[in-house]
Amino acid sequence: MDIIVPQVGESIVEAEIGEWFKKDGEYVNKDDLLLELETEKVNVELNADASGKLTILVEQGEIIKIGAVVGKIDETATAPGDAEQAAGPKEEAVAAAPVVAKVAVMNPAVPKLAAERGIDPATLKGSGRDGRILVDDIPAAKAPEPKTTSVAPQTAPAAQPVTTTDKTERTTRVAMSQFRKKMAEHLLRATQETAMLTTFNEVDMSRVMELRRRYKETFLAKHDVGLGFMSFFIKACAEALKDAPEVNASIDGNDIVYHNYYDIGVAVGSKRGLVVPVIRDADQLDFAGVEKTIRDLAVRAGEGKLTLDELQGGTFTVSNGGVYGSVLSTPLLNPPQCGILGMHGIQERAVVVDGEVVIRPMMNIALSYDHRIIDGKQAVGFLKQVKNYIDNPETLLLKI
């Protein structure tokens, strides 16, 4: 039987072979995990639909179309250990397998780079998932010994400095993944096809931090999930969007589509880069519901297990650059959404409160918006409402 790349989404037309978990010529059982496909949006795992001998037709790193045949399973083959399977066929199967099958699974760029540095890939220890060998696992090449040349003094030209390092060792060229290429196109489109503008404000995190300090242990014990800052901002945005429908809207041709629900995307890091899974109906979830959803999405994003549906359909996005140390940035829109909130790092600053200078934990927040349908007054009003909810979290809890 053929192993065919399945349809994983209407807009996805091709995929990249991410990793084969079985070797060419190996006997596989039905439902065994065969390979992982990388698309522009999600990773997809393919399992064996039948038992038999595997033949790999498309190697790791190659790009194929949806519907393409990437391998075959010979259902007439017998499982290892059966009386009919003699030693001879075993030896042939091993001999026919590619040399790379004798070593750990590795990034497609590893063999070439290892060869350039004179390193046997079989000696490398992988730091990736399931021991996968990454480019960073290859030791840096040693600079060769300086060359010396003996020439007669009367004919020797003036000494010139000699560079002994091969220029090819100073760079590493790796093909851009499908996911990264599509992300680049998406971000470029956001800057070219929208009238993006950003407005800024700052929030006092004192009361939120005090609430979290007082109740985090009780919250954890009751809900089996930690209480983080993100849930406060998700809830603040969900409530503020109700008073700013344009910020929760999108443009479809010559129409403005107002969304009467609040599906908020949360930008999280994954092994493939930044992804934005969506929290559905965030306004209807309590803090524990938001925290549990964020935890689940973040864990599965790190494992590459998010589904296509979980990455589509958001009406607004929240991005927290503060976890990486950013204190001020301009978040890029995630079209067709027309608004995105950027959170940043918390810093103690001197601020004036009731006529006195005091030290408070402050955070910069930024709202990037599409000026085609959102006016400055609406954008500033939305951001001020988010600020009010964070400065005074009791108003958020009471929805006032």
Q: So which residues are the catalytic ones?
A: 371, 375
Taking only Cα atoms into account, the Rg of the chain, rounded to an integer number of angstroms, comes to 28
Amino acid occupying residue 397:
L
- Contacts for 237 with CB less than 8 Å, ≥ 6 apart: 262, 264, 282, 316, 318, 341, 386
3-state secondary structure the chain: CEEECCCCCCCCCEEEEEEECCCCCCEECCCCEEEEEECCCCEEEEECCCCEEEEECCCCCCEEECCCEEEEEECCCCCCCCCCCCHHHHHHHHHHCCHHHHCCCECCCHHHHHHHCCCCHHHCCCCCHHHCECHHHCCCCCCCCCCCCCCCCCCCCCCCCCCCCCHHHHCCCCCCCHHHHHHHHHHHHHHHCCCEEEEEEEEECHHHHHHHHHHHHHHHHHHCCCCCHHHHHHHHHHHHHCCCHHHHCEEECCEEECCCCCCEEEEEEECCEEECCEECCHHHCCHHHHHHHHHHHHHHHHCCCCCCHHHCCCCEEEEEHHHHCCCCCCCCCCCCECEEEEEEEEEEEEEEECCEEEEEEEEEEEEEEECCCCCHHHHHHHHHHHHHHHHCHHHHHHCC
